[in-house]
Amino acid sequence: MPVERRYSKRIRVDYEVELGYRGRRLPNAKARNLSPEGIYIALDNLTLPSGTLLELEIRRWGREWFVPAIVVHGDSRGVGLMFREPQPVLYQNELQARSCVSVRPGVVDAASATARGAVE
């Protein structure tokens, strides 16, 4: 069983991000999970080696976020990135957006349950 290297819980996300790498933009990047310390990005058939420095551009909540990050692992499906500095505001905004989702009484969807910590 692998050792958990994260300090905070990841939450599932699904939105487009732009990755800057050596002065160019990498296409088809989708954020898949997020924590205050990092993010997993799905990429189409592109492998980046560990230690590669990137800049993420995230457009969420009426704001543009420019976040430097480093590749900590990757394969042909995507890359796990560690933010150069933790991004607790980015993470909290995602949690708050999830808690605003209205759900019928007695029905719990995975997104709102995750935001409340009920589902991993």
Give the span between the Cα atoms of 2 and 39, in whole angstroms.
18
pLDDT in tens, 77-105: 899 999 999 999 999 998 888 777 544 44
Residue 57 domain flag: yes
Task: Name 24's Cβ contacts closer than 8 Å, sequence gap at least 6.
Answer: none
Give the span between the Cα atoms of 80 and 94, in whole angstroms.
18
18 is in which domain, residue-wise? Answer: 11-87
| Residue 119: per-residue pLDDT | 40
Q: How many CB atoms lie within 10 A of CB 118?
A: 10
With 80 as the cut, is the pLDDT of residue 120 above it? no
Number of domains in the chain: 1
| CATH code, domain with 37 | 2.40.10.220
Residue 44 domain flag: yes
Residue 25 domain flag: yes
- Residue 89 has φ and ψ, to the nearest 5°, of -70, -40
Residue 5 domain flag: no
Q: For residue 47, which amino acid is it? A: T
Instruction: Please tell me the pTM assigned to this model.
Output: 0.75
